[in-house]
Every structure is written in structure tokens, then in C-alpha cells.
Amino acid sequence: MTGTRGEDKPPVVVITGASQGIGAEIAKLFSREVPGVSLALLARNEAKLREVQGACAAESMVNVYPCDVSDADRLEAVLTQLRDDMGSPDVLINNAGTWHGEAVQDMTPADFDRVIASNLRSTYLLCHYLLPGMLALGRGDIFNMASTAAFEGYAGVSAYCAAKHGVAGFTKALREEVREHNIRVSCISPGPTWSPSWHNTGVPEEKLMPAEDVARAFLNIYNMDRNVVTEDIVLRPRSGHIVSN
């Protein structure tokens, strides 16, 4: 891709949590609007990944890599295969995550660990394994998905709040580590966004943000001149704070 972004080749973009919701919309949007893009879609559900792959623009190269991105050994093997297939990625979108609602006194340690692993450990692991390639290329973009839960506290969602606070802090530190290496690091914090996880909650879809509009925020940040770093962006529904029944 040429132009103000100063790149000499179309990007290779890794998207985690790409099987549904915001991750799926990011994949479809990038496939339509970034000429020549190659997409690597990661999530645990291969069937849903294949559906997203089929919904992407036919002109784009789209590969799917089913895996649990919080499993270090499995992820390392998958990323080795990904680099063999597609070359070294220069865009990473850490979108994978899970939510668990339960009071602290009732939540099991296993559930707490699972939420931290899915949201925070996975973000670290992808950065750990893919940063060396970006440093060698001399460029890169990393988008870490946080949430309004990254700077607020919600009763009954302590594990998720802890994980997203961690993602926000990790992103700030990483940005300073790579600032002088032409690697931009952004933290995106959306509020309630429509996805399958909101089914049967009693919250009407029209009160939530459309996933495709949140996805467009990623593309808009990516398309800015490389001298522009969007450090943090917050998106909220017009109606404000939303609690499910």
C-alpha cells in the first residue's frame, strides 16, 4: 500500500477473537477497504472463523487459524505456521476476550483466571511473539482492545474490569517501549456493543453500538499518517451506561 502511510507493501493483519462481534466486523471492513490486505483470523471456533472468511472481500487473502490465544505453546506454533504462510505480520489487532459476571465471593479462582487469560494474557502473548518481526521490519501497528471497564468499576464484573485495566496499563507501557521504532500502539475502549453475548439479556439492540461502527474506528486510526499515534479512544452508546437485566 502506498501513500501517506509510507508502506511499500500491503499489510499482513492478525485479528484475534475474529469469529464474531467486533473482530468479525474488523476483518470484513479491512478486507473491503485496505487494498491488497492479507488477513489472519484467530479464534477457537473454526466453523465461525470460516463463516467470517467467506464474508470477507474475495480480493483479499484470508487465512484462519483456530486456537486458544491464551495457550502459549499452541499460539507459538500457530504463529510460526502463519508466518510461513503469509510472511511477518505488521498489524496486530488484539480483540480476543471473554466476560464473566459474578460477585467476588462467588467467583471461582478458575473463572477469574480464565477471564484474565483471555483478555490480558493473550494480549501479552501476541505482542511477545509478533513484536520481533515488527522491529525487524521497522514498522508496525498494534491495537489492544480494552473497554470502558478499563477505567471504571462495575459491580459483579470484577475479573473483566481487572483484565481490562491491565490491558490499558500494558498498552501504555508497550507504547513507550516501541515509540522510537515506527510502531504505533493504540488502546480502544468501547462501551456496550451489539454482539451475540447480548442475546437474552433483555437489552434492546438499538441501545447498543453497532459492531461495524466500532470496527471502523480501528480502520480510521490505521489510515492516519504514520506520524499520528492515537493513544487512546473511547466509544460509548449515546444512552450511556447500560446494565443487562
Strand order in the sheet with 183-190: 61-66, 38-43, 12-16, 91-94, 140-145, 183-190, 232-235
Average pLDDT in the chain: 91
- pLDDT of residue 7 exceeding 70, the answer is no
pLDDT of amino acid 3: 35
Mean local confidence (pLDDT), 138-151: 95
Q: How far is CA 24 from CA 27, 97, 220, 228, in A?
A: 5, 13, 17, 26
pLDDT of amino acid 2: 34
pLDDT of amino acid 193: 84
pLDDT of amino acid 1: 35
Q: Which of 65, 129, 160, 222 is flagged as catalytic?
A: 160
pLDDT of amino acid 196: 67
**Coil, strand or helix at 95:** coil
pLDDT of amino acid 216: 96
Closest of 141, 145, 100 to residue 120, by C-alpha: 145
pLDDT of amino acid 92: 98
Q: Which residue in the block uniquely carries the three cell numbers 442475546? A: 199
Q: Render pLDDT for 39-96 as a digit per residue (tens, 0 to 9).
A: 999 999 999 999 999 999 999 999 999 999 999 999 999 999 999 999 999 999 999 9
Which of the 8 DSSP states describes residue 209?
B
Mean local confidence (pLDDT), 136-155: 95
pLDDT of amino acid 245: 36
Percent helix, strand, coil in the chain, to 5, is 45, 15, 35
- pLDDT of residue 35 exceeding 50, the answer is yes
Q: Render pLDDT for 162-199 as a digit per residue (tens, 0 to 9).
A: 999 999 999 999 999 999 999 999 999 999 886 766 65
Check if 222 is active-site.
no
Which one-letter amino acid corresponds to residue 94? Answer: N
Model confidence band, residue 208 (pLDDT cutoffs 50, 70, 90) = confident
Grid coordinates belonging to 238: 449515546
Q: Cα(9)–Cα(112) distance, rounded to whole angstroms?
A: 42
- 8 A C-beta contact, residue 90 and residue 137: yes
Q: What percent of the chain has pLDDT over 70?
A: 89
Mean local confidence (pLDDT), 139-154: 94
